[in-house]
Structure formats: C-alpha cells, structure tokens
C-alpha cells in the first residue's frame, strides 16, 4: 500500500466528530493526526507540517480564533473551520484571523470534501506566489499582462474592478472577508464601506458572469465576503 500523500491535522474536542471526519479522510488516502485542544493542535501542526488543518473554534483551552492567529504567525497551511458558531461575526473573526474557509455544524461530508480538495489544489499551486494566469468559465485573467478576456473578447475593467478580481483570483476558492478586500484594494487608510463592495461586485458580475443575477463564479458569502469558485487552471510565470 502506498504512503498517504496528504497530511491533515484535525483539532476538535468532540471525539465522535473527529472519528467521523477521520474515517472519511482516511478513506480518501489521507493521513490524519488528531488533537482535542488548541495547544495540542499547534504542537501537531508544528511537528507534522500538515498540508491542511481542520479546526473547531470552541476548544477547551483557548478560543479557536486565537489558535488560528498563533498558527498564522509561522505557517501558511490552509485552515478550514468546522464550528457550531453560525453568527456572521464569528465567521468574519475567524477568517480575518487567517482561516481560509468556514463550515457550520452540522455540515455535509460531500461539501467538506469538496472544500478540502479545493484548498489542497490551491496549496499545490503555491497559493498566490507565481500566479500569472487564471481561468474560470469563459473568462481568462492574465495577471502579468493585466488583461481580462471573455472568450476572444477583451473585457475593460475599471482599476478598482481589476484589483478586486485580482484579489479574488490570487486566492481561488477561499473566502475573502469584506475587511480583507478593503485592505487589499483600497488600503488600510480607507474605512470599510460594504455598499461600495456590492456595487463593484455587481459591475464585475455584469461583465463576467453569464447570468449576473445567479453568479456561478463570483459568489457571495452572506454577511461575510466573497469568493471566486470554478477556477479551472492556474499557471505560474
């Protein structure tokens, strides 16, 4: 039998949930290391150097958001939160602390596995480093040439529209919070104004989506932010 090629650290104090998720991941050929506290999880992440971390927010020794923030001080490993906290405020805090994705308990196993595959693909591509071209649907974004094509037609974007699209494209599949997008596009000096984001995202959908009213690629995470999904290919320079 071949050795597992993907290593996952699973941090949750619910034994039954760990057992359930571990069985599903091991069935996909992944190696899973468990932890039931935040400190144990950080130690496992430091020792195992995993490809992915799955973590709860309600841990017995620390808040999961603080654990993610500590992890982010020395690791860029993708982090998926599995939590019973469903408030938008909790999701935003976790994502702003450095989590890449958020699923609320109870969750569907097929959705969890799809999110895991998406983040592992992004990790394999090296995250944002070296990206030059991104494709989704009929759209091709050439980051090197700063050019956007829909099929064979050049799409003209405003500077802000282009920066928003580029920010999403550098993190395909990942939720970017409103705050993260504001920091990336407008800079830290600008106050967050979600109304501006909705307007510009609407413009992008009008220009890039087949049906702007039901977008397939530039999707809203209600009350949290946006993500770019359905990325077919990413090339390095």
> Given this model, what pLDDT does residue 159 score?
87
CB 13 within 8 A of CB 59: yes
Cα–Cα nearest to 234, from 148, 181, 170: 170
- Tell me: do 110 and 143 sit in the same domain: no
Question: Which helix or strand (DSSP H or E) is residue 184 part of?
Answer: helix 178-185
- Below-50 pLDDT ranges, the chain: 1, 128-129, 236-237
> Given this model, what pLDDT does residue 183 score?
83
CB 11 within 8 A of CB 65: no
The CATH number linked to 230 is 1.10.10.10
- Tell me: do 120 and 12 sit in the same domain: yes
Please tell me the total count of domains within the chain.
Answer: 2
Instruction: Give the domain range for residue 68.
Output: 7-124
Query: Is 1 a member of any domain?
Result: no
Global pTM reads 0.74
The CATH number linked to 116 is 3.40.50.2300
- Rounded CA-CA distance 186/181 in Å is 8
- Rounded CA-CA distance 188/185 in Å is 9
Distance of CA 69 to the CA centre of its chain: 15
> Given this model, what pLDDT does residue 69 score?
93
């Amino acid at each position: 039998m071949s050795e597992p090629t993907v290593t996952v650290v699973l941090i949750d104090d619910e034994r039954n949930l760990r057992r359930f998720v571990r069985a599903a991941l091991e069935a996909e050929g992944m190696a899973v290391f468990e932890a039931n506290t935040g400190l144990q999880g950080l130690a496992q992440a430091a020792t195992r150097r995993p490809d992915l971390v799955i973590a709860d927010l309600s841990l017995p020794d620390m808040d999961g958001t603080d654990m993610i923030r500590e992890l982010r001080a020395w690791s860029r490993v993708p982090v998926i939160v599995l939590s019973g906290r469903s408030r938008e405020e909790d999701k935003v805090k976790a994502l702003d602390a450095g989590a890449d994705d958020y699923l609320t308990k109870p969750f569907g196993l097929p959705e969890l596995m799809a999110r895991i595959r998406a983040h592992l693909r992004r990790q394999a591509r090296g995250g944002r480093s070296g990206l030059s071209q991104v494709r989704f649907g009929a759209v091709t974004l050439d980051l090197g040439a700063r050019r956007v094509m829909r099929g064979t037609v050049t799409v003209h974007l405003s500077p802000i529209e282009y920066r928003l699209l580029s920010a999403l494209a550098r993190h395909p599949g990942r939720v970017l919070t409103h705050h993260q997008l504001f920091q990336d596009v407008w800079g830290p000096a600008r106050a967050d104004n979600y109304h501006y984001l909705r307007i510009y995202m609407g413009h992008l959908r009008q220009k890039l989506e087949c049906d702007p009213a039901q977008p397939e690629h530039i999707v809203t995470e209600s009350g949290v932010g946006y993500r770019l999904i359905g990325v077919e290919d990413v090339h390095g320079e």
